[in-house]
């Protein structure tokens, strides 16, 4: 069974009340422009919203394959800072691992894996119970194909964030049918399982570099209905987070369609 919710871009208390009034059950905190939320605030947020499942998206400024040591250190710091806040209300921390730059995909993978291990070592040393979820990314310049993401998760005992619209955009629209989504789920099941999924959904526009921008579901050619059909038939479990410009409206649209299947 899947539960549905959306990303939140401010006034978390007001938005959490709105989600609950619509019978939506998940909220993803957006730290994408920086981690400004205080730990005490996160504690109160959870106390007031015990029925909501919280997750967070780490800052976009993360690049664990950066050329400069300072940028890598800042990336590690941003992941740790995000985790320290999130641990008071949720567990799943979504992030974009980095960019290929001018390196081979093999070297990029090696660098990202080594630097992520430093984050995991810190978590273990300081008893931070957070699940890092590298996200499948939408731009061809970004690390984050399905295969890269699943291999990284398998080798580091992580769980992925599967962004189906990103996979669609990265493939220039070729991945967009029930059969395509079902095959993706077969790969996920074989690698890390489908009983604890964290999923992003939205409409999306793409160009020659892949993802360009998020769109409302009904204004995009992304076939979200077939993605949900595949998830239902595969008996996937977890959270579906709406990232479209119509956050709660499109989350409710997906929930109602899913429940009609």
Q: How far apart are the first and last CA of the chain?
A: 12
Mean pLDDT of 52-66: 97
Cite the beta strand spans of 66-191 per DSSP E: 90-95, 131-134, 161-163
Q: How far apart are CA 1 and CA 45, in angstroms?
A: 25
Q: Which helix (H) or strand (E) holds 215?
A: strand 210-215
pTM for this predicted structure: 0.97
Question: Residue 154: its pLDDT value, please?
Answer: 98
Mean pLDDT of 174-180: 98
Cβ-proximal residues to 56 (8 Å cutoff; 6+ apart), any chain:
28, 29, 30, 31, 82, 85, 86, 90, 92, 93, 94
Contact 149, 136 (CB under 8 A): yes
Query: Over the stretch 103-146, which tens digit does the pLDDT of each residue have?
Result: 999 999 999 999 999 999 999 999 999 999 999 999 999 999 99
Question: Residue 48: its pLDDT value, please?
Answer: 97
Q: Residue 10 pLDDT > 90, yes or no? A: no
Query: Over the stretch 135-175, which tens digit does the pLDDT of each residue have?
Result: 999 999 999 999 999 999 999 999 999 999 999 999 999 99
């Amino acid at each position: 069974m899947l539960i549905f919710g959306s990303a939140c871009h401010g006034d978390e208390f007001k938005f959490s009340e709105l989600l609950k009034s619509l019978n939506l059950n998940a909220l993803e905190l957006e730290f994408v422009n920086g981690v400004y939320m205080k730990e005490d605030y996160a504690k109160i947020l959870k106390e007031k919203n015990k029925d909501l499942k919280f997750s967070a998206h780490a800052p976009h400024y993360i690049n664990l394959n950066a050329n400069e040591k300072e940028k890598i250190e800042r990336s590690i710091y941003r992941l740790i800072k995000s985790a320290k806040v999130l641990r008071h209300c949720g567990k799943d921390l979504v992030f974009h691992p980095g960019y290929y730059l001018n390196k081979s995909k093999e070297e990029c993978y090696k660098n990202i894996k080594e630097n992520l291990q430093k984050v995991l070592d810190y978590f273990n040393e300081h008893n931070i119970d957070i699940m890092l979820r590298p996200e499948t990314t939408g731009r061809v310049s970004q690390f984050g194909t399905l295969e890269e993401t699943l291999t990284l998760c398998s080798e580091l005992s992580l769980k992925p964030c599967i962004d189906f619209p990103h996979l669609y955009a990265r493939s220039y629209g070729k991945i967009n049918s029930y059969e395509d989504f079902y095959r993706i789920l077969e790969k996920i099941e074989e690698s890390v399982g489908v009983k604890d999924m964290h999923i992003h959904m939205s409409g999306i526009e793409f160009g020659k570099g892949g993802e360009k921008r998020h769109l409302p579901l009904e204004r995009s050619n992304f076939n979200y209905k077939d993605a949900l059909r595949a998830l239902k038939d595969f008996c996937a479990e977890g959270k579906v987070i709406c990232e479209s410009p119509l956050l709660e409206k499109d989350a409710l649209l997906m929930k109602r369609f899913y429940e009609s299947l």
